Amino acid sequence: MTDTKEQKEAPRIDPKLKSRLILLICAILTFTVMNGTMFNVAIPDIAEHFGLMPSQVSWVMTGYILVFSIGSLMYGKLADIFPIKNLLTFGLTLFFIGATLGILAPNYPTLLAARIIQALGGATIPALAFIIPARFIPDERGRVFGIVSATVAFASGLGPIAGGLIGGFLSWRFLFLFSMLSIVAIPFLRKWIPDEERRHGVVDIPGAVFIAASVASLLVFITTGLWWAPLMFATSLILFIWRTLTAEHPFIEPSLLKDGRYTTTVATSFLGTSVLFGMIFIIPIMLRDLYDLNTLAIGLVLFPGAMAAGLIGQAGGRLVDRKGSVPVVKLAMILVGFGTVLISTFAGFHPVVVALCVLVTYLGFPLVQSSTANLLSSIVPEKQTGVGIGMFNLLNFMSAAIGSAVYGRILDLETASFLLNPFARTNDNIIYSNLFLSLTGIALIALTIFLFRFRAGATTAVQKG
């Protein structure tokens, strides 16, 4: 009864402003996501400009992902206490400051600082983009989650193309100029997002430090292989668990982590997203290796899938509202698994064929995120929505970093002699065919875990959540 009362008293967005706000959130979310993927293609130019080794310049991406991932959890927790419009104002201001510093950076340390500041601010956008529908638009949250997830999918595919065009015709510095545009959104967000009072609650600073150190050291080890990182990860994780069990108001309530529905949904999203980002990571390398395509051509292979994901997002969200989250999660994982099987089978065929296979996999992207986010919003107590969805965002971003590192090291092997897919043709494509078949395996594991927890008849209460 308490949750119902709180939900009725929660502020609601003016219906006349709803569409405008959703459009604006998606616009700045596009800037934020593209800001991460655009710089992938600019790494060689930055290395040449400052005379850096690959291991040095890689921190332009690693540092951004590191801070962005941790920030998505921290802002989620803060959203349980502080008004969302204030957090967004703070974040977008930092994002603008980082972009301004980056475009003027005279040396590499300044450039790296600019990227870190950008990540500190930009992390507010995806963190709060999933919380806003859950808090302010509960009756249409499935549809809005679908639109937000589709935007992420679309922007991730558009980023490399935009980065290649801007960096190729102008300079890598102009990528920061693109990010600076987000500052224009602040006055509109402050006007359109409902006013909120500061909620009762405290942020467990030691707990936040311990979990941040755990995530940071894990990502550092995955991306760099530094020997001290696993030791720091184990120590920080033990301290976080101790703090969670002993603190009066821990950073993450143990009851949330003990909820099997919550952990299963987050794990399913983590595995499904790792498959999708694994595909996005492997495809460009495969297209360069097997077909010798340039950056723009690679982007064009990915673009139809990203566009299709963008178009299907709203329909997928409405399907969640109509049929419930659980059936859509199942459909999404089937699409992802089927798509990766197709890529495994047709790797080495004409790039148009590969693009069609990629499109099938991409269709699962907005469905995975919108359905799992909607399911979480019905499982997590209202007072813990921010940190609950924050964990969801954190693990999704980590899945991208982990997938890139793991698959990158597998590709370093360069050759494979045994073809796992009996329907694929034997050629130089063996290692890529095997990798995509392994992605299919991960999708099937995710589907199996999800079906075991949310089996038919066992989850009536959340079927429409």
Q: What is the pLDDT along the chain (465 residues), one digit of tens a residue?
A: 344 444 445 566 777 778 888 888 888 888 888 887 777 767 777 877 888 776 667 677 777 878 888 888 888 889 888 899 999 999 999 999 999 999 999 998 999 999 999 999 988 988 888 888 878 887 777 888 888 888 887 887 777 778 777 777 778 888 888 788 889 999 998 988 888 888 877 788 898 899 889 988 887 887 677 889 899 999 999 999 999 999 888 888 888 888 889 999 999 999 998 898 888 778 888 888 888 887 678 778 888 888 888 787 777 778 888 888 899 999 999 999 999 999 999 988 889 999 999 999 988 888 888 888 888 888 888 778 888 888 888 888 788 777 777 777 777 666 667 788 888 876 767 888 888 999 999 999 999 999 999 875 444 445 445
Cα–Cα distances (Å) from 276 to 192, 352, 401, 465, in that order, read 33, 19, 12, 24
Whole-angstrom distance, CA of residue 10 vs CA of residue 284: 45
DSSP string across 313-374 = HHHHHHHHHHH-HHHHHHHHHHHHHHHHHHHHHHTTS-HHHHHHHHHHHHHHHHHHHHHHHH
Distance of CA 235 to the CA centre of its chain: 26
Q: What's the pLDDT score for residue 457?
A: 45
Note every long-range contact of 454-459, with CB atoms under 8 Å and residues 24 or more positions apart, other chains counting.
Answer: 454/261, 454/264, 454/326, 454/329, 459/261, 459/326
Helices (H), 80-107: 84-104
Q: Length of the chain, please?
A: 465
- What pLDDT is stored for residue 46 in this prediction? 82
**Which residue in 412, 458, 407 sits closest to 435, CA to CA?**
407
Instruction: Let me know if 18 is exposed, middle or buried by CB neighbors in 10 A (0-12, 13-18, 19+).
Output: middle
Please check whether residue 53 is in contact with residue 190, taking contact to mean a CB–CB distance below 8 angstroms: no
Q: What value, to the nearest 5°, has the Cα angle with vertex 24 and ends 112 and 77?
A: 60
Q: Which residue has the tokens 């490399």?
A: 160
Q: How many Cβ atoms are within 10 Å of 202's Cβ, its own excluded?
A: 10
User: What pLDDT, on a 0 to 100 scale, did the predictor assign at position 52?
Assistant: 75
Q: What is the pLDDT of residue 8?
A: 45
Q: Which of 374, 30, 386 is nearest to 196 (CA)?
A: 386
List of residues 6+ apart from 262 with CB closer than 8 A: 256, 376, 379, 380, 388
Rounded Cα gap, residues 367 and 389, in angstroms = 16
Cite the DSSP H helix spans in 247-324.
254-258, 260-291, 295-323
- Helix spans in 123-204 (H): 124-136, 141-169, 174-180, 186-192
CATH (one of 1.10.10.410, 1.10.3720.10, 1.20.1250.20, 1.10.40.60) for 14-203+251-462:
1.20.1250.20
pLDDT of residue 2: 40
Radius of gyration from C-alpha coordinates of the chain: 21
Closest-CA residue to 321 (of 269, 374, 363): 374
- Domain residue spans of the chain: 14-203+251-462, 204-250
Please report the sign of the dihedral spanned by the C-alpha atoms of residue 124, residue 130, residue 132, residue 135: negative
Residue 460: the pLDDT is 44
Residue 419 CA to residue 436 CA, distance in Å, equals 12
Can you read off the two tokens belonging to residue 190?
């402050």
Q: Is 348 left (phi over 0), alpha (psi -120 to 50) or beta?
A: left
- How big is the CA angle at 369 (ends 365 and 370), to the nearest 5 degrees? 110
Which pLDDT belongs to residue 6? 41
**311 vs 305: CA distance, rounded Å:** 10
Task: Name the residue among 256, 200, 254 with its Cα closest to residue 379.
Answer: 256
Provide the phi-psi class of 380: left if phi over 0, else alpha when psi is between -120 and 50, else beta.
beta
pTM over 0.85? The answer is no
The pLDDT assigned to 152 comes to 82
pLDDT computed for residue 54 by the predictor = 60
- CA–CA dist 46, 61 (Å, integer): 11
What is the reported pLDDT for 331? Answer: 92
